Each structure stands twice: as structure tokens, then as C-alpha cells.
Structure 1
Amino acid sequence: MTVRTVLGDVEEIGLTYAHEHFFMTGDWPVRNEPDYRLDSLEAAVAEVTAARRLGLSAVVEMTPLGFGRSPSLMKALAERTGLHVIAVTGFHKSTYYSDAHWLHHYSPGEIAELLVAEIELGMDEYGLVGPLVRRSPARAGAIKIATSYHAFGRGVERLIGAVAAAALRTGVPVVTHCDKGTMGHELLDALASHGVRADRVVLGHIDHNPDAGYLASLAERGAYLAFDRPGRIKYGPDSEIVALVAELAGRGLEHRLLFGMDLARRSYWPGLGGGPGLAYLLERFVPRLEAEGLGEAAKAALIANPRAAFALRPH
């Protein structure tokens, strides 16, 4: 199975975190919330190096257009650490983009062409803010779409059509932001209406809704569930996630699980004075799963499942 990284296509990615952020260097969401500003290559290298010592091999860097995503910094991070970095193109919640932004005005077909170019030719160094494109050799390996809390949000249903068209043309998966763990079925239904199967969709933040029955119903459709809350106790204790893994594994759904940390704030990085840090998942959370007899589920969620979820599969 081939996976597209910022340094090129690879056949094996190894132990993978499915939802991370290393670089958010500007634009108004970052200016409005300074804790989002992640612009230090040295700090990112330190975070990755600590996790690499514990076996981390690959990361899906989920920073989309409009947050100062930096292909050049992602490429430099991969070169310096040996980490496989799978970058995304696409969008966060529509409220993060001004009324003048092109995503509110371009046709779905035009938007799809822009996304396809980021995957097949290379990401724009300046996030497609135009008018010129500075094409990086680093290509995106997934497309992001985000919904709001219990709602799609302004224009998102139109964007889903563009995202689906680009995903089908290029074979990359669709990765999502499900606000507070909502809109999972609605996203799967909308993408399916455009031809994207559930097994080509990764539902992010879905463990923020720790309802085992709900999560099982999504996994049974074939979607991948990205559990990216471990260590961030303000959203709930790790015990909730351990219980969810146990319940889903007990239902034979461990092959639909993915893990990540979603460390999208400076205050989450030890090198910048915060925590829990990138190493927490392997240092603290996975041993807890192993102690509960869930070692095989953890191994699947970190190795076999991401290899399948992020593989290129042309329509």
C-alpha cells in the first residue's frame, strides 16, 4: 500500500499518530489565539525526537489551509528526524475563513482542481491565499473537511462535494474535524452521496463523544475512528478512552481505531513550557492499554490501521 508523504510516496509508514499539528504560522485564527502559534522547527524537532525514541515512525499533520500551514517546515522536520509526515490540504470550520475567502465563492469544481493540484503537484507554500502560487515539492496525502457542533456550518455541504471529487480523483483519504464528536453519520452520508465510501474516511475528535454505541455504529459502517484525546484531561480522563477501546475491541471493531494526540497548542508542548507532549501516547497511554489486555488493539490502531486508512486508492 502506498502512502503519500511530504518527502515522497512510501510503502511502509510504521507506527503512526493519525492527528497532529506541528506548524501553524499565521492567519487570523492564529493571531486571534496566540496559543495556536506553532512556528518553531527546533521545538518540533525536540518533540518528534522524544517520541521517535519510543518508536514513532509517522504522523498525519492535520493543519489545513488558512492556518499558516508550512510545507517547507514539514519537509525540513521530516528530513531532520526521519519522521514520515503525511500533510493535508483542505479546510477547517468555515467560521475560520473571512467572507472574502475564495472557499465561499469558487465553484465546487474550481475548489476540487485546487485540491487535486496540492496532492498531485505540490502544496502552495502560502496556503493558496494568492494571487501567485509558490508550489512546494511536498505533496499532500489527505484532504481535510470540518463540521461545526451538531451542524455542517456555512457552505460546508458545498465544500464536501469538492473534497469528495478531489479524493476520488487522487485516491487520498478524507480526514475530518468532528466538532465535539458530532456529525459523524451526517458526514459519512454526505460523502457517500458523492461516491466516497466510509472506509476512506477518518473521523477526527470522535472520542470527544465517548458513547460506545454511537462510535460502534460509525465503525460498523467502515469509517476509521481517530481517538486523539489521550492526555488532554481537561476534556475527560484517559479512563474513558480506555473503556471505549475495550468496548469496541470487544465488538470486533479494533481494526477501525486510530490514535493521535492533537497537540495544536503551544501549551501542549513540553519544550514550550507545557504538556502532555508527543511522547505521552507511547509512554503513558499505550502501556495502560497493555495493562488492561488491550495490547493487540493498540498495536492495530498504531500500525496496521493507519497503513490501510492513509493508503492511496484511486477510484
Structure 2
Amino acid sequence: MIRTVLGDVDPADLGVTFAHEHLLMTGDWPVMDEPDFRLDSVDSAVEEIAPARAAGLSAVVEMTPLGFGRSPRGLAEISRRTGVHVVAVTGFHKVGYYSDRHWLHRYSAEQIAGLLAAEIEQGMDEHGLVGPLLDRTAARAGAVKIGTGYHRFGRSVGKLIEAAGIVHARTGVPVTTHTDQGTGGHELLDALARAGVPGEKVVLGHIDHNPDPGYLAELAARGAWLAFDMPGRVKYAPDSQSVTLIAALHERGHSGRLLLGSDLARRSYWRSLGGGPGLDYLLTRFVPRLTAAGLGEVVKRALVTNPARAFSLGAGEER
């Protein structure tokens, strides 16, 4: 099953899925420090989703972790109003976004795992576990997130990886990741494997920021899911790079490990807020590029078949 904010759904019913998006980031100091991160309107999110929904979007993996003003009730409202499934996450971004006094640095792996598992099994806290009191919602998380820095894990990340392993063993949720510039993929898979998380339960986010087909093929061969979330954001690279990279991985037999998203985590990316490319870009602009390149079957896998497997609850899969 897939755990969404409105309840569990059959993987066969998930449909066209964007594997890395942000719909609500309502506050906390990273948002205050970077005002362009502030996505605090349910109405704007509903408006932003509408063209993508019309183009075929059925589900979104909402990757906003603790510490960014994640709103479970808001996500549930967005899902009800748009008809789009929303898979939410618990867990953390890279540790540079958290205060030196944050409890993630002070609590044990077992204590952290208990807090995160409760968000998956019972319901997410509306206020992101900032405490001291909880406001437990009915919306449950469907994945646990961890973030690593550029070529390094960062303070306390080893403990967070251990906690993610405990949560995975207890709940079966996948582990989704922020990999800075696509670095550290092997090191992250090694550490998660030691924590009991097989490659088949790991989604490597932003991995296409490291556009080395040999490197990515090695990660795919280890069972990891490769989340391509750069299309449309040409300040990083043109779409042609992503098309070429996807074709190279397909030729090497790894299209069964690809996921697609757009990671539009800024107001300036949303057309409903006067920016661009907009949430529908992936379906209306990038997918036609892949289809024209003879990669239509890869599109179906990356948007439908693969997400239904990647975000299912369970211990792993036979490959």
C-alpha cells in the first residue's frame, strides 16, 4: 500500500506521480531566511496543481520535512480539493537548516525513531515536532527523509540514518533523501544498508545534479531509485542534459529505477504566484521531449510503474 495524507491507497491506484515536490512551507527560520521558500497558501497550491491535474497528474510526493513549516492539515485540504494523492514525509533536510540546539542533535537514534514512527503510524504533528506539546493530526506520513551535504553527511546525520533504519524496520516506509548536488550516493547507500535499509527502499533525490551516467548506473544497479527533479530549472542545466542522461540509463537497462519530479520549492517557480516554469511543465513540456526522443515507455515507467513500487510500504523487493 501507499500511505497518503488521506489514507492508504492501492499502488495500482496511485497513477501519474511526481516524486519530489513542495506544496506548503509555511515558516520556521529557513523560510524566514529565504523568503522565496515561503509557500504558505493552500489556495495558491490548489491553483498551481490545476493545470498539472488537467494534464494527467494523479499523485505528488510532498518532500517538505520537519523544520520548514510543514502543514499536514493543509496538505490534506489540498488533496481533498484537487483530487491528487499526496504522500507526505517526516524526517529532516540537511542539518545546516537546523539550530545547534535542535533536539535532533541531543536525542538518541531510538528516541528520534520513536517520534518519526509515530508520525507514520499515528499522524503527523501540525507544528513539526517543535514541542513541547503535540497537535497530532489524522494525516500520516508515508516516507522518512534524511539530507546529506556536499560530499559529506554533516553533524548528527549518522545518527539520523540509524533512526531511519529503525523507522523503516518498524513501518516499512521508504527512505527519501536530499543528496547535495547528487554527491555521496554510494556512501549513503552503504550507511543505510548498515542500518538495515536495502537499496530498493531508498529514493536518491537530486541525483541528476550529478549527470554522470556511469555513476548513476552504479547506483541503480544497487537497487536505488534515482529521482530526476531538475527539468524546467535551466539555471542548473538545460532539459537536453536530462533527456540525454535518461536515454543513457535506459540503454544501460536502468529505466526501471527512474523517477521524475520538478522540486518547485520556491515562489518564483510557481505560475500561480507569477513565476515559472510551473507544476504542469513536467507533463506539458518535458515529457513530450522524452517521447520525441523515443523514450515513451520510459515515461510510463518513471511516472507510473516505478513510483507505485518505490513508495509502497514493505521490506524491499526481489530484483
| TM-score normalized with structure 1 length | 0.99
Q: Does the aligned pair in 1 maintain the 2:122–2:140 contact within 8 Å? A: yes
Taking the TM superposition and a 5 Å limit, the aligned residue runs for 1:137-156 are 137-156=138-157
Residue 117 of structure 1 pairs with residue 156 of structure 2 = no
Structure 1, gaps ≥5 residues long: none
Residues 60-83 of structure 1, C-alpha deviations (whole Å, 9 max, x = no match): 000000000000110000000100
Q: Does the aligned pair in 2 maintain the 1:27–1:66 contact within 8 Å? A: yes
Partner in structure 1 of residue 183 of structure 2? 182
Residue 222 of structure 1 pairs with residue 223 of structure 2 = yes
Residue 76 of structure 1 pairs with residue 77 of structure 2 = yes
Note the C-alpha offset of 1:195. Answer: 1.1
Note the C-alpha offset of 1:271. Answer: 1.0
Q: What amino acid does structure 2 have at the position aligned with 1:194?
A: A
Distance 1:168 1:241 in 2: 34
Distance 1:312 1:156 in 2: 23
Partner in structure 1 of residue 95 of structure 2? 94
Residues 96-120 of structure 1, C-alpha deviations (whole Å, 9 max, x = no match): 1111110010000000000100000
Partner in structure 2 of residue 310 of structure 1? 311
Distance 1:218 1:43 in 2: 37
Partner in structure 2 of residue 5 of structure 1? 4
4+ runs deviating over 4 angstroms: none
Structure 1 counterpart SS, 2:235: helix
Note the C-alpha offset of 1:25. Answer: 0.4
Partner in structure 1 of residue 250 of structure 2? 249
Residue 56 of structure 1 pairs with residue 57 of structure 2 = yes
Q: What amino acid does structure 2 have at the position aligned with 1:5?
A: T
Q: Does the aligned pair in 1 maintain the 2:201–2:315 contact within 8 Å? A: no
Structure 2 counterpart SS, 1:236: coil
Residues 4-47 of structure 1, C-alpha deviations (whole Å, 9 max, x = no match): 00000000200000000000000000000000000011110011
Q: Does the aligned pair in 2 maintain the 1:48–1:278 contact within 8 Å? A: yes
Q: What amino acid does structure 2 have at the position aligned with 1:72?
A: R
Q: What amino acid does structure 2 have at the position aligned with 1:165?
A: I
Partner in structure 1 of residue 269 of structure 2? 268
Q: Does the aligned pair in 1 maintain the 2:94–2:147 contact within 8 Å? A: yes
Q: What amino acid does structure 2 have at the position aligned with 1:84?
A: H
Taking the TM superposition and a 5 Å limit, the aligned residue runs for 1:270-285 are 270-285=271-286
Note the C-alpha offset of 1:314. Answer: 4.7
Distance 1:150 1:55 in 2: 37
Q: Does the aligned pair in 2 maintain the 1:169–1:314 contact within 8 Å? A: no
Q: What amino acid does structure 2 have at the position aligned with 1:42?
A: D
Structure 2, gaps ≥5 residues long: none
Distance 2:186 2:159 in 1: 17
Distance 2:15 2:30 in 1: 33
Residues 248-304 of structure 1, C-alpha deviations (whole Å, 9 max, x = no match): 000111000000000000000011111000000000000000000000001100000
Distance 2:31 2:255 in 1: 36
Q: Does the aligned pair in 2 maintain the 1:122–1:139 contact within 8 Å? A: yes
Distance 2:160 2:54 in 1: 39
Structure 1 counterpart SS, 2:111: helix
Structure 2 counterpart SS, 1:146: strand
Structure 2 counterpart SS, 1:233: coil
- The number of equivalent residue pairs is 314
Distance 1:263 1:109 in 2: 33
Partner in structure 2 of residue 44 of structure 1? 45
Q: What amino acid does structure 2 have at the position aligned with 1:78?
A: S
Q: What amino acid does structure 2 have at the position aligned with 1:313?
A: G
Distance 2:189 2:170 in 1: 18
Partner in structure 2 of residue 17 of structure 1? 18
Distance 1:195 1:272 in 2: 42
Q: What amino acid does structure 1 have at the position aligned with 2:39?
A: L
Distance 1:136 1:186 in 2: 35
Structure 2 counterpart SS, 1:234: coil
